[in-house]
Structure 1
Amino acid sequence: MPVMPGAEPFAYDGGDTGVLLCHGFTGSPQSLRPWAERLAAEDLTVRLPRLPGHGTTWQELNRTQWDDWLAEAERAFGELVQRCDRVFVAGLSMGGALAARIAERHSANVAGLVLVNPCVTLGDPRLAALPVVKHLVPSLAGISSDIAAPDRTEVAYDRTPLKALHSFVKAWPDIVRDLPQVTQPLLLLRSAEDHVVPAKSSQVILSRVSSKDVTEIVLERSYHVATLDHDAEVIESESIAFIRRVTG
């Protein structure tokens, strides 16, 4: 299956501190590529995998599910654990949910967590109809390129595949239930105006984690895909400062 131009995975072998970056639902590594390159420029070892079903066609994404995406993220994480002394896990939107799940499941090997507009709930009552609707309608309008900057776009699907979406929604209760297992230092950055994920999602995470070292930053000039938006530099510089501080 051909990969969309720009949606290729990214890897860089640098120093003994590693960072796993996870992209969002229907998106691709392109949405985090500038961030990954900035981390690499700091001589951090970086992995930014292309999650199964992403960066090709929405129909292919509809043939994958949460367990597939988590398995690929954990594969890249395991590679970093083998290679590095310390590993940080970061993600945007669904990638934030993946990062949180890895922190829950592999607590001893995660040095810190960086979440950007993480999605563990949407608060949309229409999602209750997904178990039925997904068999009747394969996709709905897309959620990509929620970006305030007019000259930037996201390499992502223009449709939202419903079988895949339902698998993501079904993962939320387990992620939320296990958030108290997250004890690592946490940096959470959320957009003041986000048309995809409500602020409640970040609030749920902040209210349930056991982390003592927690920093929340509100991004005033960006929408959901903040990693490509006006505040991209804030995300990059704050995450680097966070990693340097935690690693001493």
Structure 2
Amino acid sequence: MAIHPLASPLSRPASPEQTGGRRIGVLLSHGFTGSPASIKPWGEALAARGYGVEVPRLPGHGTSWQELNRTTWDDWYAELDRAFDRLARESDEVVVGGLSMGGALALQLAADRGEALRGLVLVNPAVATTRKDVLALPVLKWVVPSLPGIANDIKKPGGEEHGYLRTPLKATHSMMRHWRLLREDLVRITVPVLLFKSAVDHVVDPSSLEIIKARISSRDFTERSLEESFHVATLDNDAPTIFEESAAFVARVTS
């Protein structure tokens, strides 16, 4: 299956001469039906500050929604887990971040790996939904393969994340089924967290933020509201804020 040119992974080596002689790594995950294209500018901004950056392409993404429908949460998480191991071998400290479902995967990694990572940077993370129609997914996914896509929720004119125009339902059900397990694991997360939430988000409703704040055990928790961006904030008007504040967060938690 051909991979979209902009969906290729991003890998940048650390420049310890910019970070006090230490190799600091940052692992970033894109969201559901998206691709590395949605967070590459974020990764490049961090790399410019000397951080080693890895942005993997999750299985089934950047190709076709049909291929995504043949993958599951376990496939996506395994790819992020492998990327973390590779980056950890090359780094003195690692911080993990993610957009949307990528934020959920990052949360799961933090729950599983504990203080092997130094912090989390989350942008509109998704761990729940209040939509009632998802209750039909266990049956609907066998009848209807896909529904209209969720890509390009961007306020900035001309924004394009190069995501799928269709949302595959078997893959969607896999993601939402694992949300339940993740919500139970949130209590195990103790590392510092910087969370960005768009004031207007047409993809992830406020329930995710409420659950994360209520259940996470991290005492070092900072929430930032993005007033000029929709869901894909890493490509939107507030992207410079995300880049600057996440770089400062990485520097602080790895000092």
- Which range, TM-score by smaller chain? over 0.9
Matches within 5 A, 1:197-236: 197-236=204-243
SS in 1 for 2:6: coil
CA offsets 1:203-230 (integer angstroms, 9 cap, x no match): 1111111111110000000000000000
Counterpart position of 1:177: 184
- 1:171-195: CA deviations, max 9, x gaps? 0111110101100000000000000
Which residue of structure 1 aligns with residue 72 of structure 2?
Answer: 65
Match of 2:8 in 1: 8
Shift of 1:5: 2.3
Return the alpha-carbon distance in structure 1 between the equivalents of residues 75 and 30 of structure 2: 14
Q: Distance in 2 between matches of 1:47 and 1:5?
A: 17
Structure 1 range deviating more: 96-105 or 196-205: 196-205
Structure 2 residue 154 is the aligned partner of structure 1 residue 147? yes
Cross-structure match for 2:102: 95
> Aligned residues: percent identity?
54
Deviates more, 1:13-22 or 1:137-146: 13-22
Unaligned residue ranges in structure 2 (runs of 5+): 17-22
State the one-letter code of the partner of 2:192. Answer: P
CA distances 1:133-172 after superposition (whole Å, capped 9, x unpaired): 0000000000000000012111100000000000000001
The CA RMSD over aligned residues, in Å, is 0.7
What secondary structure, in the 3-state scheme, does the structure 2 residue paired with 1:26 have? coil
Structure 1 equivalent of residue 88 of structure 2: 81
Aligned length: 248
Q: After the TM superposition, which parts of structure 1 deviate over 2 Å for at least 4 consecutive aligned residues?
A: none
Q: Answer whether contact 2:115 2:191 (CA < 8 A) is retained.
A: no
Q: Distance in 2 between matches of 1:187 and 1:203?
A: 15
Q: 1:241 aligns with which of 220, 231, 248?
A: 248
Gaps of 5+ in 1: none
1:165 and 1:199 mapped to 2: Cα distance?
A: 19
TM-score, normalising length: structure 1: 0.99
